[in-house]
Every structure is written in C-alpha cells, then in structure tokens.
A and B are shown apart, each in its own frame.
Chain A
Amino acid sequence: KAGVTQTPRYLIKTRGQQVTLSCSPISGHRSVSWYQQTPGQGLQFLFEYFSETQRNKGNFPGRFSGRQFSNSRSEMNVSTLELGDSALYLCASSFGAGNTDTQYFGPGTRLTVL
C-alpha cells in the first residue's frame, strides 16, 4: 500500500504570496490532519478533516485554511505569507475519525518564505 504523499516537497515563496499544499492519504483512510513543524515550536496541530468536514482546528490565524475532497485528498492554503510561516508542513492520515487509530505521516512540504 502506498504511503501518505505530499506535493510539492519543497516550495519557496515571497512574503505576501499565497500557497497551496496537497496531501493524498493512504488508500482507504478518511481522516487527514495537518501539522506545522518549526524548530522553536515543534509540531503544532493545524486542522483535521474527515469525510470532507473540518472536525478540529488548531490555534492558527484565518490565513491558514484547508479542505478535503470526496476522494479524501486534502489541500491546505496559506494566504498573505509571512516570514514566520517558513516551516515543514506535515499531513497525517488515519482510517477512522476517532483517536484510537495509528496516524501515518507523509514526508512533508518544506516551505520557505523570503
């Protein structure tokens, strides 16, 4: 079974631009979560989607948004990029919507904002 895939793997943007990141979960998984990882803050939860519905949202500004499609693929969008948005963005998928399933992470998208 193919793992979680994320595209693109690397991205360089300038301040003020917007960016869209994509995540394809493991086949059959319906839950997708997004995390931001920075050296200072570690891994921070952004949001979770299950069956196209956002079930949970972390403490990030409204510039961060996401969605999930009927095939469970998910995208996250960051508008009006700031230098502090430079980070590794990870998505994770799991089979169910509950908190008992193993979560599988993708390789991440490294976003650099100049």
Chain B
Amino acid sequence: KQEVTQIPAALSVPEGENLVLNCSFTDSAIYNLQWFRQDPGKGLTSLLLIQSSQREQTSGRLNASLDKSSGRSTLYIAASQPGDSATYLCAVPQSGANSKLTFGKGITLSVRP
C-alpha cells in the first residue's frame, strides 16, 4: 500500500528565502507525482506534475524534482513571498488504469514579511 509522507508539517521562513519542501513515498513504481497548493478553506491548485520519466519540472519560481529510486520528491521555491503562504501537498496515483491519488498530509508554509 502506497504511503506518502511530508515532513515537517509546518514551516515558517522570512520573505526572500529559498526553500525546499520534501515528499517521500514508499512504492517507487509510480507513474508520476503531482504537487498541489491549497489556501485555507479552498480547493487544490495543481502546481507541477512530474512524469516518472522526468527528473525535474519548472514553473516560474517553482522547481520540482523526482527521484523514484529513493522514493523522494522535492519542491523548491525560490525567493519566497508572503503570497506563497499556503499548504503544499504532494500526491501519487495508484498503479493501474485509474485516477486515485494518494496524498501526503501537506506542509503548511508561512512566509513572514
């Protein structure tokens, strides 16, 4: 059974800092890994999807990497801003032809002005 872990549960950094959010998964036979952002009380916004054949994906100040062999992914946020404050979740799909995602519990990021 796939398990996804995100540690720490919360993180507070000063504005302008570069930071890395970690995600680990137990079953390395994944097709892809997706990072989401969730603002309080809101739905999930897809940030990046990395296919299993890729090692990195970039979007603006965000860069996500994937190392299947070690069961890890990282989300790098450059030059953090107060507007980046949110909960960041990673998720992997279940094997087989279906769309079920297994999520981590998320990392709540607070960027202090």
The yes or no answer to B42 lying at the interface (CB within 8 A) is yes
Query: Is the pair B99, A94 in contact by a Cβ cutoff of 8 Å?
Result: yes
A interface size (C-beta, 8 A): 30
Query: Is the pair A104, B46 in contact by a Cβ cutoff of 8 Å?
Result: yes
Query: Is the pair A102, B49 in contact by a Cβ cutoff of 8 Å?
Result: yes
Say yes or no: A99-B99 contact (C-beta < 8 A), given A42-B106, A105-B36. yes
Interface size class, chain B: 20 to 34
Which of the candidate stretches B12-20, B64-72, B73-81, B89-97 sits at the interface with the other chain?
A: B89-97
**Whose C-beta in chain A lies nearest to the C-beta of B89?**
A43
**Whose C-beta in chain B lies nearest to the C-beta of A45?**
B100
The yes or no answer to A72 lying at the interface (CB within 8 A) is no
Query: Is the pair B32, A99 in contact by a Cβ cutoff of 8 Å?
Result: yes
Q: Tell me what chain A mostly uses at the interface: helix, strand, loop, or mixed.
A: strand
Which of the candidate stretches A11-19, A61-69, A76-84, A106-114 sits at the interface with the other chain?
A: A106-114
The yes or no answer to A20 lying at the interface (CB within 8 A) is no
> Of A50, A58, A106, which one neighbours B43 at CB under 8 angstroms?
A106
The yes or no answer to B113 lying at the interface (CB within 8 A) is no
Residues of A that sit less than 8 Å from B by CB: 4, 6, 31, 33, 35, 42-43, 45, 48, 50, 55-56, 58, 88, 90, 92, 94, 97-108, 110
